[in-house]
Amino acid sequence: MIEHRYGVAGMTCGHCASFVTEEIERIEGVTAVNVDLTNDKVIVTSDRELALADVRAAVDEAGYELTGQEH
């Protein structure tokens, strides 16, 4: 299992969290998505490496902005 942390701006409530989760879960290989609202972070667990562009597109589709990936 691979875990990556991403910065996502604009999530302010539980609904924001569920919209972002929903979109990221559609990416192939993703097994879990956890949102840390307090720190504007999304923790994504997957069974393969994810392309940053795919994660960015998913976050954008939900209406939010990916600010970066933590290593």
Partner 1 sequence: MSTLDTTDPTKFMVDYLTSFNEEILRSDEDAGQIVDHYYANDISLMADGQRMGRDDLIAHVRPIRKNRATSRVEVHEAVVDGDRIAARYTLYVSVRGRDLVIEVHFFGRFTPDGRMFEGHMLTRNVDTDADEFASGQAANESEAS
| Residue 14 in contact with partner 1, rule: CB under 8 A | yes
User: Residues 3, 43: contact at Cβ < 8 Å?
Assistant: yes
**Interface pick for partner 1 out of 42, 55, 64, 66 (rule CB under 8 A):** 64
The beta-strand segments (E) located in the chain are 2-9, 30-36, 41-46, 65-70
| Residue 15 in contact with Cu ion, rule: CB under 5 A | yes
| Residue 39 in contact with partner 1, rule: CB under 8 A | no
Alpha-carbon distance of 71 to 61, in angstroms, equals: 24
Stretch that binds partner 1, among 12-20, 27-35, 47-55 (CB under 8 A): 12-20
Q: Which residues bind partner 1 (CB under 8 A)?
A: 9-10, 12-16, 19, 22, 37-38, 62-65
